[in-house]
Amino acid sequence: MESRLTDRHNGTSELEVRLGVGEKQLEDLKTENSGLEVRLSVNEKLLEDLKTENTDFSFRLNETDDSLHQLRNTNSGELKVAFSAGLTDSGSVGPFNEERTLIFSKTITNIGQAYNQTAGVFTAPVRGLYFFSFTAADYLKGYMGLYLYKNNRPIIFNLELNDHGGYASTSNGIALQLDEGDIVRLSLPASYRLYDDSRNFSIFSGFLLFPL
């Protein structure tokens, strides 16, 4: 009888030990599971952050695409104005008894059709900043020169004395702010002379830098 009690006691102790080990393993599993839950929460947070970052990146990319599209539309609709014209193929122009507008009749370039080769005048199609340049030549002794006018006001007067004979030239350029409808032209003073032929010694050019 005592032996059986002892065996039962020993069996109970063994079960208690095994139960204690099981509880310890359960606690370890709970701890490990808590760690997994923490790591899972961290990963879920990282995933949400990545989704948010990706959404923000997509939004910025769309903004960039929209800006690029708008820029392309702006550039494609931009007014383009530029011209160059030679004076004549006929040789000497002048001298005249009075000042006269120079008719640069040989249109080389006329983008925007703002230069009138019949009247020899450029008419600003829009308010903006424009750049004009000219070169005038002659080959005989004497004075050569010309005015650049904005409407009826002289802006530039170029004068050159050809005291040796042979070809000589004078050039200049200027940026002008013009309102729509303003006129720019070149004028030959009385008693002055210029020369041009198919080689385009005398040239009048201008273009729109940007609208204002």
Q: Are 145 and 160 in contact (CB under 8 A)?
A: yes
pLDDT of residue 73: 44
Q: What is the mean pLDDT of the chain?
A: 82
Q: Are 174 and 147 in contact (CB under 8 A)?
A: no
Higher pLDDT, 120 or 63: 120
Q: Are 200 and 106 in contact (CB under 8 A)?
A: yes
Q: Are 208 and 128 in contact (CB under 8 A)?
A: yes
Distances (CA, A) of 1 to 4, 5, 6, 7, 9: 5, 6, 9, 10, 12
- The pTM of the whole model exceeds 0.85: no
Q: How is domain 82-211 classified at the architecture level of CATH?
A: Sandwich (2.60)
pLDDT of residue 72: 46
H or E segment at 24?
helix 2-76
Q: Are 163 and 152 in contact (CB under 8 A)?
A: no
pLDDT of residue 165: 73
Higher pLDDT, 67 or 37: 37
Q: What confidence tens digit (pLDDT) does each residue in 54-64 have? A: 666 555 656 65
Q: What confidence tens digit (pLDDT) does each residue in 20-54 have? A: 666 677 677 667 667 666 676 766 777 677 676 66
Higher pLDDT, 67 or 96: 96
Radius of gyration of the chain from its Cα atoms, rounded to whole angstroms: 45
The strand pairing partners of 134, in sequence order, are: 172, 204
What does DSSP assign to residue 147?
Answer: E
pLDDT of residue 6: 58
pLDDT of residue 206: 98
Of 111, 115, 171, 117, nearest to 144 by C-alpha is 171
Band of the pLDDT at 4, cuts 50, 70, 90?
low
Q: What confidence tens digit (pLDDT) does each residue in 124-137 have? A: 999 999 999 999 99
Q: Which two tokens stand for residue 36?
A: 């997994």
What does DSSP assign to residue 183?
Answer: E
pLDDT of residue 48: 78
Higher pLDDT, 102 or 50: 102
